Structure 1
Amino acid sequence: MKSIHDLQLNGRRVLLRADFNVPMNERGEITDDIRIRTVLPTIEHILAHQGKLVICSHMGRPKGQPVAEFSLAPVAAHLQSLIGRPVRLAPDCVGDAVQEIVAAMAPGEVVMLENLRFHKAETANDPDFSAQLAGLADVYINDAFAVSHRAHASVVGVAERVADKAAGLLLQAEIDYFHKAMDTPVRPLVALVGGAKVSSKLAALENMLTKVDRMIIGGAMANTFLKSQGIDVGSSKVEEDLLESAARLIDKAREKGVKIFLPVDFVVADAFSAEATVKNVTVQDVPPTWMALDIGPASTILFKEALQDAKTIVWNGPMGAFEIDAFARGTMALCQAVASSHALSITGGGDSNAAVKKAGEERNITYMSTGGGAFLELMEGKSLPGIEALS
């Protein structure tokens, strides 16, 4: 896979696939621009080398038709303020008008195409749609790691039709950090895995057993593992159909000499609510009608000890319902433990990054991945279509 540094950009049309699917409030104002800022180094590199920059992205789920609230107009305006030069928003992402705008571009100019997902052909990886996008490019750069697990037209179809293609600086960093953590780690390598569902992470857990030295499992998914070992967890969320799979994974870990750490106590509540009655109990003492919503203080100490001598930490998923303060202490404590460690630490997008931000520890994590789903597929040992297309 080539890097953007390997390509000649001067005077050429550079189609950049970015992920500018940013959160906005009801007034159409961007509330978090991190997805834009992380692509700025690639944008600045292209402009410094006098490329004609054409940016494409999706926004929201417009279901294949133009929807005003999902227009990229606020993104174009915000990017313009960040880079200090005009960013023209095209009326569409394909069509004669778009071709004319791109054909008239001078080196160093920036055009942003309108939302790719205003066309169903984008998610269908339609060949005609892919060819139209590819026709706008002399060079294709993928810097959208968060969607590189999707075989969409702008991710795969265009890359297959443009000879000069490469990874942007963000995408390259994502891949480099992941391989550093999972393929050539400094050991001990510890995986910290949480979140709600075993089903969404079972393949990742099984693959990681071949790589890690220790595995810490928290969040609601830990309930399924505990119940698979004969522990009644009251009315806590459990995936009954995965009890045998959870038990097999624990047995497999034992055979491989990989230590699995599960919670030994919980913060439980009589309802999923900030106003619920809350108490700490051991995992064996969860009341029948109560639910576990965070790891307890003893589990926090146990998990922190398991991380203490780690040289590499890969984290995906919170330890509880951290959005509610009453159930956030376990996740916040582990954020601080990971941030204060001397390990290479990588968080896997989504809720993990949100938890780190809530704890105010962003600057103390080695790398925060921008792609939850893509990161998880890498953890499963899968190749990403967007990466394969660049190769």
Structure 2
Amino acid sequence: MSHFGRPKGEIIETGKNGRLNPVVKPLEELLGTPVQKIDTVIGAEAEEAASNLGKGEVLLLENTRFDIGETKNDKTLAEGMGKMADYFVMDAFGTAHRAHSSTAGVTEFMEESAAGFLLDKELKYLQGAVDAPVKPMMAIVGGAKVSTKIPVIESLLEKCDTILVGGGMIFTFYRALGYETGGSLVEEDIIDLAASLLKKAEEKGVKIVLPTDVVVADKFDNDANSAIAKVNEMSGDWMGLDIGPESIALFKEEIEKCNTIVWNGPMGVFEMSNFAEGTNSVAQMLAEATERGAITIVGGGDSVAAINQAGLGDKVSHISTGGGASLELLEGKTLPGVAALSDV
């Protein structure tokens, strides 16, 4: 069983929030066996179909989020799911941070519940980085906004020796340091918090590395006029869209010192080819670090997209399939979909 999109309890025939029919053929190819698919999640039809399954046969239930109770961890829905099997294997790490009927509630109505191979691998790498990292440990944190990464940065300050910061969030840190930022993205209400994070890092002896130069542009467009600017020389309304060549060299020097590296968030607007150099370079650095024996973990949708875009997805130790789940694990939080299992 699985969810598909966010239909919010509404039955949708097709599209990104629709039925699971398009999943049947790929699933059959992967499993090498026919897959029977029904249009319900629980109830008499589902229970009968499950009871009639022979050895090695597979039944696929409908999109679990067609039932409004799924995201509310409804016990009736969970019990209905539990009637169709004796054992539950949780392998959806991307939703393990959600206490839903199909991720947590259903375990109450199964004889045994365990982690699947993917979930086990995710926990091995991410939990290992949290609990027992091979030192020195580094986090590379990027993305547009500091506000979305505050909890994970605070948690990483307890574990890391070095934190590299890139992406649009650097400009909020620059403002906290008193620099001009031109027309770059700045979260005005987070400036004081950014300053406190820098102070906390200093007190804990954690090295925070900010870019020393950036690629600036006169508009948010791949074909914009661009230039390299030192961080203390930004002015006017030009905006920073990537880290500069000096910063790339600095980041490479720091990455080469570390044995556990966690990357979450791009260094710039990598979707635009003219502002993707910083992100692509970091991806290459992680591939090289992996080759020399470092443990490299990439998490978060944009970072995963970036390293795959660079063609280096198979050159790092682990690519996490969970955006929110990986962040919450790095924050030290307990994931409901993991805590509910009887055997992890």
Structure 2 counterpart of 1:14: none
- Answering whether residue 341 of structure 2 is matched by residue 390 of structure 1, we say yes
Which of 61, 66, 82 in structure 2 is aligned with 1:118? 66
Structure 2 counterpart of 1:65: 10
Which of 288, 291, 306 in structure 2 is aligned with 1:340? 288
- Answering whether residue 99 of structure 2 is matched by residue 99 of structure 1, we say no
Structure 2 counterpart of 1:232: 180
Q: Deviations over 1:230-258 (max 9, x none)?
A: 11111111111111111111111111111
Which of 235, 238, 246 in structure 1 is aligned with 2:194? 246
Q: Deviations over 1:128-148 (max 9, x none)?
A: 111111111200110000000
Structure 2 counterpart of 1:305: 253
Q: Which AA in structure 1 matches 2:121?
A: A
Which of 76, 86, 102 in structure 1 is aligned with 2:24? 76
Structure 2 counterpart of 1:358: 309
Tell me the SS of whatever aligns to 2:109.
coil
The CA distance in 2 between the partners of 1:286 and 1:114, in whole Å, is 54
Shift of the alpha carbon at 1:275? 2.0
The CA distance in 2 between the partners of 1:280 and 1:154, in whole Å, is 50
Percent identity over the alignment is 47
The CA distance in 2 between the partners of 1:288 and 1:144, in whole Å, is 47
The CA distance in 2 between the partners of 1:179 and 1:381, in whole Å, is 9
The CA distance in 1 between the partners of 2:187 and 2:163, in whole Å, is 20
Kindly tell me the number of residue pairs found equivalent between the two proteins: 336
Shift of the alpha carbon at 1:308? 0.9
Q: Which AA in structure 1 matches 2:334?
A: S
Which of 102, 110, 121 in structure 2 is aligned with 1:173? 121
Which of 137, 149, 152 in structure 2 is aligned with 1:204? 152
Contact 1:91 1:97 in 2 (8 A): no
Unaligned residue ranges in structure 2 (runs of 5+): none
The CA distance in 1 between the partners of 2:254 and 2:130, in whole Å, is 18
Shift of the alpha carbon at 1:94? 1.2
Which of 254, 258, 267 in structure 1 is aligned with 2:206? 258
The CA distance in 2 between the partners of 1:82 and 1:143, in whole Å, is 15
Q: Deviations over 1:178-234 (max 9, x none)?
A: 122221111110101101111111011011101001000100111111111111111
The CA distance in 2 between the partners of 1:315 and 1:292, in whole Å, is 21
TM-score for both structures, normalised by structure 2:
0.96
Q: Which AA in structure 1 matches 2:327?
A: L
Tell me the SS of whatever aligns to 1:57.
coil
Which of 58, 79, 92 in structure 2 is aligned with 1:144? 92
The CA distance in 1 between the partners of 2:332 and 2:32, in whole Å, is 41
Which of 324, 328, 337 in structure 2 is aligned with 1:373? 324
Shift of the alpha carbon at 1:114? 0.9
Tell me the SS of whatever aligns to 1:318.
coil
Shift of the alpha carbon at 1:349? 3.2
RMSD: 1.0
Report the more deviating stretch, 278-287 or 362-371: 278-287
Report the more deviating stretch, 163-172 or 281-290: 281-290
Structure 1 counterpart of 2:134: 186
Structure 2 counterpart of 1:155: 103
Which structure 2 residues correspond to residues 47-66 of structure 1 after superposition, within 5 A?
Answer: 56-66=1-11
Which of 252, 265, 269 in structure 2 is aligned with 1:321? 269
Contact 1:57 1:115 in 2 (8 A): yes
Tell me the SS of whatever aligns to 2:328.
helix
Structure 2 counterpart of 1:51: none
Q: Deviations over 1:316-335 (max 9, x none)?
A: 11101101101100000110
Runs of 4+ with deviation above 3 angstroms: none
Which of 57, 60, 82 in structure 2 is aligned with 1:134? 82
Which structure 2 residues correspond to residues 3-82 of structure 1 after superposition, within 5 A?
Answer: 56-69=1-14, 70-82=18-30
Structure 2 counterpart of 1:36: none
Q: Which AA in structure 2 matches 1:226?
A: Y
Unaligned residue ranges in structure 1 (runs of 5+): 1-55
